[in-house]
Chain A
Amino acid sequence: MMNAADRTRLRHEFEDLLYHEAWLLDNDQLEEWLELFSDTIRYWAPVRGNMEPGREDLSQPHLLAHFDDDKTSLTLRVKRLRTGAAHAEEPRSRIRHFVSNVQILETDGPDRVKVGSNFQVFRSRWEGTEHVFVGCREDWWRRIDTTWKNEERFILLDHNVLENMTVFF
């Protein structure tokens, strides 16, 4: 068990890390952003539906998702944006990430931590098409040597009807 002071210190550490991540995304430092993920990352955002209370089962096999990426496919997405021909991001959208509600949800020894956070992402596309994406994330981070690597990112988007999604969360 971790004492309260350690927990707070750890939360601060991840707040810094998540703010840095948001800065990378907002400033088109996507190659550096990819470095935050381990080679075994699962980057996953299941679809949401309108179900009876308690009936939304995000763990059911083969459920559709908005993202279900590994390191290879995430890297492909970034490479594609660099081709100059990814028309839905030409010219690039103006993007701003807001991260809040950072919490240490679970620890597994000193080197594995599950961190929760909420996000709001604003995108202004082209001449004025504006969208806001809202949701939360649950990440499993692992300390390798002295750096934290994200091994699993679960993204829960609070939307049922979405938009053309050219952004990362």
Chain B
Amino acid sequence: MTDWSHLIDLEKCTVSPRVFVDEEVYRDEQERIFGRCWLYLAHESQLPNPGDFVTCYMGEESVLACRTASGKIRVFLNSCRHRGARMCRLDAGNAKAFTCPYHGWTYDNQGRLIGVPQFKEAYYEELNREDWGLIEVPRVESFRGLIFACFDENAQSLDAYLGDMKWYLDLIFNKTEGGMVALPGLHRWNLGGNWKLAAEQFNGDNYHTGAAHESMLKIGLGPANGQFLGDQPWVRDFEAKLDNGHGWINFKIDMAGGVPAPLAQHMERMQAAARQRLTPAQSELVGCVHVGNVFPNFSILTFLGFLTIRVWHPRGPHNMEVYSWSMIEQEAPPEVVEIARKMQILTFSPSGIFEQDDGEMWGNSVKALRGMHRRNFPLNYQMGAGHGRTDPDKPGLIHPPSTEIGIFGVYERWQALMGGA
């Protein structure tokens, strides 16, 4: 196995462009990162009933997540054992069994092969059906309704993997009794750019907002003070480098145009609810802008009442496919859901006026980094290095925006997984 650890320089805090553009590096990532890390699949509110299923991806693998009769969620590769045909071509639905469109092998939602056409006439009943069930993803675990799966049987538990990220995820997913629910529908789109560029931005890049989102400031749909920064550095306005390459951005801003009254009232109610459930230090942060990434490629962003959660699926070193869902507190009245939903569509969706500019940047970088000469010169991740602090009130290594302490954590983790061992 090729040892790629030399592509990250831990002392200098630099990253080789090959991490983002090299085909061989990309191929090894599929095994060593996507084959070993916990990957986000779906939210439990998308498959509430026995028989419900959703199809999605783990890296480049199409998978089928099923809620079985016992209520357990099981995940299988969405590929028939006979000739490999994609079994299920629907996004979601309810089914007890799945019949392969090619020759008609049928599997139940526990992956067992239960039907083989011409079993007697063609197979002389000699096919051992038990051996030919769907390929199961061995580990499936949830945190606050977020379902993750892992190809590595021996991986640490999801709980341990998320580590101190759980404290921050709770600001969103555990602030109310009902938790978060997914709205129907999925934003799915192709983007130029390596998946890590998107992941690292959500992990901890608040530095880009002034330049990349300058147009938002110019039209007055941005912070009242003209900066995506609050006025309580270290306390409420900070970035946190977390376990296992995860990261969190937190800040509070007043919007130039204010916030619609029903949404403002709703956010106040949510903060009051949070005080009953979370620690005082956590409740103080509820209602801020939160942006984060669970290594490798699961990102969240909550802003102006909406929550978008998304996965940056790798599609070769130079492209990705985004799956993005919209969520809101189960307690939100329909009027607030509509305000938040429209705000998300306008800002963070394939047509979103923030999203479009982020999407342009990632493709832009890989296009430039692809050159055989350019790739010899490292990229700089030194911002704030050595200046992070721990804080008794909240986990992680903390620093106010802007810093690249957390972002570089993505590459420290990446290096640990991409070494030759």
Contacts and interface: CB of A to CB of B under 8 A. Distances in A.
Q: Do A and B bind each other?
A: yes
A69 B349 contact: no
Contact of A64 (B214, B218, B321, B345): B345
B119 interface: no
A63 B184 contact: yes
Nearest to A125: B360
Contact of B190 (A65, A89, A161): A161
Nearest to B367: A127
Interface in B82-131: 89-93
A80 B215 contact: yes
B410 interface: no
B350 A165 contact: yes
A165 B93 contact: no
B357 A52 contact: no
A87 B186 contact: no
Band of interface residues on A: 35 or more
User: Taking chain B's interface residues, is the majority helix, strand, or loop, or is none over half, making it mixed?
Assistant: mixed
A79 B192 CA distance: 26
Interface string B327-366: 0000000100110011001100111010111011101000
B219 A67 contact: no
Band of interface residues on B: 35 or more
A88 B91 contact: no
A139 B306 CA distance: 29
Contact of A49 (B91, B337, B355): B91
B215 A85 contact: yes
Interface string A53-84: 00100001111111111000100110110010
A51 interface: yes
Contact of A77 (B334, B353, B355): B353
B183 interface: yes
9 contacts: A49-B92, A66-B349, A67-B345, A68-B346, A76-B346, A87-B360, A162-B190, A164-B191, A164-B355
Interface of A: 46-47, 49-52, 55, 60-69, 73, 76-77, 79-80, 83, 85-89, 129, 160-166
Interface of B: 89-93, 183-192, 212, 214-216, 218-219, 221, 321, 326, 334, 337-338, 341-342, 345-346, 349-351, 353, 355-357, 359-361, 363
